[in-house]
A and B are shown apart, each in its own frame.
Chain A
């Protein structure tokens, strides 16, 4: 065992990378749930995003185009959920589960020719001076642009929900869709847009795994991150900054336990492997002890009865 092999700077820098897919998916789902829709298909949309992004960036050689394709891929899959739940008024839980199963299968089919290929690299941002600051530079200012996009998105979602009229209407639809309808807001339209946004975010998160974190394509490579994102939204009490905190906590402990495993710490591997889940849930449960609760219309089907 040699704990000295763990480099704290590298550790913190890589926890941000590990957290980003989770953060992107969770922020998207947060917006969806704030609009009163429970989409359990996050995992499916992530994996479809992962392969769409991977395939397009391999074919075009541009990781940027890959990420755009991933967002579109996730959104297109979420369109299926829109069709089922908002148009056909099907049950949201069942539709979400179906979306995940479909996405996992479909992505395996799409990815058949892409196993074992290395995708083009996305260059890290390098800002003169501040990226070269010792310790802080490598931790904060030497990452890929998508990682910063995740943080920017968190800030944007937070500000939009809190300060803008669009955010207020979105929250109102999630809180009481009948009242929102009575006031003349287009409940279904707002929900469809929220679901598409959630799909695009999940797709980005998936592509971040296949293009940057790993980077390669294997079947089922999202490995449950979509489910963690769903749990994260709930334990973060539907608050964007808490979702960020939870994602970084989860990412941090994931990276740390991998380092500990590599360093040969005398704790059974199984315990180390489960530690990110347990600690993240514990911390967020303690945080969510305040009285903020779920959007009141969450998961309920809206049907204009007049």
Chain B
């Protein structure tokens, strides 16, 4: 057997209170696409940060082509041919593509030569990109291309990709996979981090599975079923949410001809949106992030006001009502960002329960807070949704992402909404918690609540929604029944591959 490109031996890294990586060992061969699988918090990010020189291991060794490899900083790792595409893009919005790429290089050529090389490499790998566009104006897929090209310009031996497809349309994923296959055929190794099992099965040669910081198994993805891999990740058998056949009632929420400007500078304006949701129906709204999801949630929650008739609840115009008035009527929302938008990070769970529950749960009397009732309400949420926390007096910030998400969704579900709007209900949540949240949403719909679920996770939407519509540049496609949709059709509804024409001008 030949020497592997990178060999990890017993890597361990502990943070106060948690062992992020515990004796992790595996090899990445030359020209191999190696998958690193695991749930959120399994230690995937810490592991790649060690390879990239951002974090130093407490113990254990790495060997690059047989030589001891211990990069003190990313610069050193880059010099040794390690390149990384980050999960949360490490890009600078106000700078242009060429400047962003120059920042990721050790000795960038003059700007003129660099932009010529960017054009050349981007054409070669089928990732068209204009070097002089400002990154803030690019779509998520195009931003990722910037990162990839930044790596490719340095002829990497190992390319690390952290959750690269979470922001892409299916068509863009296909383009990405072609690029990665081309790289593999040229001998570049790829360490591919994901929790999307089907992707790993089509792309990767080998997979290592992490759970709670430990290497719990390896497999050849193309010969292993997605379910088996998922169970190795979770360490337990998975329950698929059940969906009972049900009848839809009257139209609960009716949005017609809705157009608004975005309140933020890099936001997307909503353009002439029509949709209706019936009682008991789950409407899934897909689309790549930044196509108007936040604005749509704002409009439905009452944070952005519109003309009165644009939004009707049971026939009553509510477009000019603010969030509290809408909550009173029964239109509830759970926004995407847990720390900041859906919950106040430094306030206790009781206080957070009060913040949205005060109207419907009667937690306020003539301006005074009813603390004991509020605590009881918070405890009820914690119990019903199995939120792991010592008690309701803990700050929202102290909960893990999945637990806080369960709390935030549970808080709305337990208020018996007539209409519930959720944005990214299971984003960054482990599989078991995600299944519980999806089941809660389905149960709520079964009781007659109209649910709008905005999400970028297509599998999730296919699993829970009755009909599907896609947001693309602020426009909403006509809703279609989920049962008869194919992935290709969804991709086209989401706008296909963004910006394919850009570099051909």
**Chain A contact residues, CB within 8 Å of chain B:** 165, 168-169, 171-172, 175-176, 178-180, 182-185, 291, 293, 295-296, 306
Contact = CB atoms under 8 A, between A and B. Distances in A.
Nearest to B15: A306
B55 A183 contact: no
A169 B92 CA distance: 11
Contact of B94 (A169, A182, A295): A295
Given A182-B74, A184-B53, A306-B55, A168 B103 contact: yes
A178 B90 contact: yes
A175 B49 contact: no
A169 B103 CA distance: 7
Contact of A165 (B75, B90, B108): B108
13 contacts: A165-B108, A169-B103, A171-B94, A175-B94, A175-B95, A178-B90, A179-B90, A179-B91, A182-B54, A182-B74, A184-B53, A293-B94, A306-B55
Interface in B43-64: 49, 53-55
Contacts of B75: 184
Contacts of B108: 165
B248 interface: no
Contacts of B102: 165, 168
Nearest to A185: B103
B412 interface: no
Nearest to B92: A175
Contacts of B53: 184
Nearest to A295: B94
Given A182-B86, A184-B53, A168 B99 contact: yes
A169 B95 CA distance: 11
Contacts of A172: 92, 95, 99, 103
A176 B92 contact: yes
Given A184-B53, A184-B74, A296 B103 contact: no
B215 to A, nearest CB: 21
Contacts of B73: 184
Interface in B78-98: 78, 86, 89-95
B163 to A, nearest CB: 15
A183 B103 contact: yes
B74 A183 contact: yes
A41 to B, nearest CB: 26
B472 to A, nearest CB: 24
Contacts of A184: 53, 73-75, 78
B265 interface: yes
Nearest to A178: B90
A294 to B, nearest CB: 9
Given A183-B90, A183-B103, 18 more contacts: A168-B95, A168-B103, A172-B92, A172-B95, A172-B103, A175-B93, A175-B94, A176-B90, A176-B91, A178-B90, A179-B89, A180-B103, A182-B86, A184-B73, A184-B75, A293-B94, A296-B93, A306-B55
A90 to B, nearest CB: 18
Interface residues on chain B, size class: 20 to 34
Contacts of B89: 179
Interface string B245-269: 0000000000000000000010000
Given A165-B102, A168-B103, A182 B55 contact: no
Contact of A171 (B55, B74, B78, B95): B95
Contacts of A185: 103
Contacts of A180: 92, 103
A302 to B, nearest CB: 14
Contacts of A306: 49, 54-55
B74 A296 contact: no
B330 interface: no
B241 interface: no
Q: Top 8 A-B pairs ranked by shortest CB distance?
A: A184-B74, A179-B90, A175-B92, A182-B90, A184-B75, A176-B92, A306-B55, A175-B94
A178 B103 CA distance: 13
Nearest to B99: A168
A293 B92 contact: no
B290 interface: no
Contacts of A293: 94, 265
Contacts of B91: 176, 179
B92 A179 contact: yes
Contacts of A176: 90-93
A172 B78 CA distance: 19
A182 B100 CA distance: 13
A306 B94 CA distance: 25
A209 to B, nearest CB: 34
Nearest to A292: B94
Contacts of B103: 168-169, 172, 180, 183, 185
A291 B134 CA distance: 13
A180 B74 CA distance: 11
B104 interface: yes
B135 to A, nearest CB: 10
A183 B104 contact: yes
Given A169-B103, A183-B104, A296 B94 contact: yes
Contacts of A296: 93-94
B26 to A, nearest CB: 22
Contacts of A178: 90
Interface string B184-227: 00000000000000000000000000000000000000000000
A169 B78 CA distance: 17
A103 to B, nearest CB: 32
A295 B108 CA distance: 23
A291 to B, nearest CB: 8
Contacts of B95: 168, 171-172, 175
A172 B49 CA distance: 21
A137 B74 CA distance: 55
A175 B95 CA distance: 8
A232 B240 CA distance: 60
B49 to A, nearest CB: 6
A296 B264 CA distance: 13
B13 to A, nearest CB: 10
A238 B75 CA distance: 30
Interface string B460-494: 00000000000000000000000000000000000
Nearest to A304: B54
B326 to A, nearest CB: 32
A306 B74 CA distance: 13
A182 B74 CA distance: 8
Contacts of B55: 306
A171 B134 CA distance: 14
A189 to B, nearest CB: 13
Contacts of B78: 184
A175 B91 CA distance: 9
A148 B104 CA distance: 37
A295 B94 CA distance: 8
A184 B84 CA distance: 12
A262 B44 CA distance: 74
A174 B94 CA distance: 10
A114 to B, nearest CB: 45
A248 B74 CA distance: 45
B110 to A, nearest CB: 10
B321 to A, nearest CB: 32
A176 B86 CA distance: 14
